[in-house]
Amino acid sequence: GAVVSQHPSWVICKSGTSVKIECRSLDFQATTMFWYRQFPKQSLMLMATSNEGSKATYEQGVEKDKFLINHASLTLSTLTVTSAHPEDSSFYICSAMVSNQPQHFGDGTRLSIL
Amino acid sequence: AQSVTQLGSHVSVSEGALVLLRCNYSSSVPPYLFWYVQYPNQGLQLLLKYTSAATLVKGINGFEAEFKKSETSFHLTKPSAHMSDAAEYFCAVSDNNNDMRFGAGTRLTVKP
């Protein structure tokens, strides 16, 4: 149980395009979803926290207009990297949780911007 | 604010040897503590968690960790390393499972 699916797992696109990443909780309804960014050989850095039906809470230094988060249902959150540039290349990981339970992580999305 | 410090970015052990990955935490409230494992190009898998019950926590794959409040530590151990244990390990602290902060990670290498 408690499976979180991320799609796509790998995406390569040209600079200037927008990329959408989906995060789904497959067998449970997640009260909260999280988006992390991980640079090579580094730890996970929390980007934002989102609750279904409300605006995401972004961490300091994360551009809201750059990283658009939509959490339309209890099983789906999306992260859209708008007008992506090479410096946005990274490994993006989502997680989902039900109240007072540990976060369950997706397998991540490797984003490469040419 | 909570934080964790993982001592040693890289640990190398021989197959069959003891694995010890160190984690120290800082928290102003009783913490929830976690260890996660990450294999290449994958997300994080929960190994074990401490939530103020027993101080010795047993997890999956033979790993365990002991919460020591006096030392503010939550070190991860496994008596005998397997080749399949080679991965990146992250310690994390949370006050309520929501605001989770990760350590920098420790890469475990297992030599045959």
Looking at beta carbons, which residues of chain B come within 8 Å of A97?
97-98
pLDDT for B1 beyond 80: no
Query: Would you call A43 and B45 a contact, using CB atoms and an 8 Å cutoff?
Result: no
Q: Which of A34, A43, A91 sits opposite B90 (nearest CB)?
A: A43
CA distance B5 to B24: 5
Query: Would you call A44 and B96 a contact, using CB atoms and an 8 Å cutoff?
Result: no
Tell me the per-residue pLDDT of A86-107, one tens digit each, with 9 for 90 and over: 999 999 999 998 877 788 999 9
Whether the CB-CB separation of A36 and A11 falls below 8 Å is answered with no
Tell me the per-residue pLDDT of B47-58, one tens digit each, with 9 for 90 and over: 999 987 789 999
Q: Which of A4, A43, A108 sits opposite B103 (nearest CB)?
A: A43
Q: Which of B97, B101, B102 sits opposite A101 (nearest CB)?
A: B97
Looking at beta carbons, which residues of chain A come within 8 Å of B34?
102
Which parts of B1-112 are beta strand (E)?
3-7, 10-14, 19-26, 32-38, 44-50, 56-58, 64-68, 73-78, 87-94, 100-102, 106-111
Tell me the per-residue pLDDT of A31-73, one tens digit each, with 9 for 90 and over: 899 999 998 878 889 999 998 888 899 999 999 999 999 988 8
Query: Would you call A93 and B97 a contact, using CB atoms and an 8 Å cutoff?
Result: no
| Closest chain A CA to residue B34 | A102
Tell me the per-residue pLDDT of A7-37, one tens digit each, with 9 for 90 and over: 999 999 999 999 999 999 998 898 899 999 9
pLDDT value of residue A63? 94
